[in-house]
Amino acid sequence: MSALPRAVEAPEETLRLAASAVTDAAGRDQNQDVAAALAIGSSGPSGAGEDFLLIVADGMGGHPAGDVASQIAMNTLIEAFPTLPAGDLGLALKQAYRRANEAVFQAGEAEPAQAGMGTTLTSALLHGKYATVAHVGDSRAYLLRGDALTQVTRDHTVVAEEVAQGRITAEAARRDPRRNRLTHVIGTHPRLESKLPAIFELTLLPGDRLLLCSDGLYDVLEDDDMRRALLGQDPPNSARQLVETAKERGTRDNATAVVAAAIPTRVPATAAQPGPASRTGGVPGMAIAAVIAILLVVLLLLAVVVLGAPL
């Protein structure tokens, strides 16, 4: 007996997201960095747990209340995204950054001891395989794909602008004493420039790693150090290793790492598989009916020929 195919559920590869954040005072007495890796709900049809908000904010070292500025900026973003908004995520991040800038600036105006405070702010909204990164300052976002580590963001510093203009090399910029002189931050002016924050749209592939970090981490780590920490580990272990390595290398600043992983997984998908045999041996009923009809016509013609009956 033959079998007819039927629809069943078979595995298909897709992505799930995981993320973790680690921050440490490291080379300083006080930690002015803040970090978050939060699973957020969705306002759309996809379920919660697939959407994340990642944040790194580094309060300006040597300035009053840098820790206050970074905390206000982070809290503003968290309040802005209890769920993933529908529509343009880049636009939603721009609006949230403007609110964060106003909140930090107004707090500085209200308290003389905090006047002039500011912070970097690098964040990402993750929705399934899509990542939207927003950036102001010199914290960074990196993407690891296979063995290739790419810096996604560009520092808002004097030396980064000179590198972009071809006036100095990237290697020279790493040693330049002006490398931490910022050109844009959150909170030092009443309004954020219209071109800020810088927005980057990424499509994640299975196995990708997204890293957000402060300058106290990347200043003392080579790309190979980052690759080793990110490859083959879950986000909590990767983030912890990155921060610990920065401390071992003698960073003089706070060290922060937020790591997200696009993990390949399998979900049911429709496929063909043999089903139970039918009583007709798997031959469709319409075909059987057609054969019977032809046989009846043949028998009728034979009867006409043999009996000589008129048609």
Assigned CATH topology for domain 9-268 = Phosphatase 2c; domain 1 (3.60.40)
Handedness of CA 24, 36, 139, 263 (dihedral sign): positive
Kindly state the tokens that stand for 264.
């390949």
Its pTM stands at 0.81
Q: Spell out the long-range contacts of 170-173 with Cβ–Cβ below 8 A and sequence spacing 24 or more.
A: none
pLDDT over threshold 80, residue 9: no
Asked if residue 284 has a cis previous peptide bond (ω within 30° of 0), the answer is no
pLDDT of 278 reads 38
pLDDT of 208 reads 97
- In the block, tokens 């004097």 appear at 158
pLDDT of 48 reads 40
Distance CA 174, CA 179 (A): 7
Distance CA 217, CA 122 (A): 14
- In the block, tokens 């060290």 appear at 255
Size (the chain), residues: 311
Kindly report, residue by residue over 68-91, the tens digit of the pLDDT. 999 999 999 999 999 999 999 999
Q: Do strands 209-213 and 140-145 pair parallel, antiparallel, or not at all (unpaired)? A: antiparallel
**Range 190-209 average pLDDT:** 97
pLDDT over threshold 80, residue 271: no
pLDDT of 280 reads 37
pLDDT bin (cut points 50, 70, 90) of residue 300 is low
- In the block, tokens 């993407």 appear at 143
Kindly report, residue by residue over 140-194, the tens digit of the pLDDT. 999 999 999 999 999 999 999 998 889 998 888 888 888 889 999 999 999 999 9
**Range 96-105 average pLDDT:** 98
Kindly report, residue by residue over 250-266, the tens digit of the pLDDT. 999 999 999 999 999 87
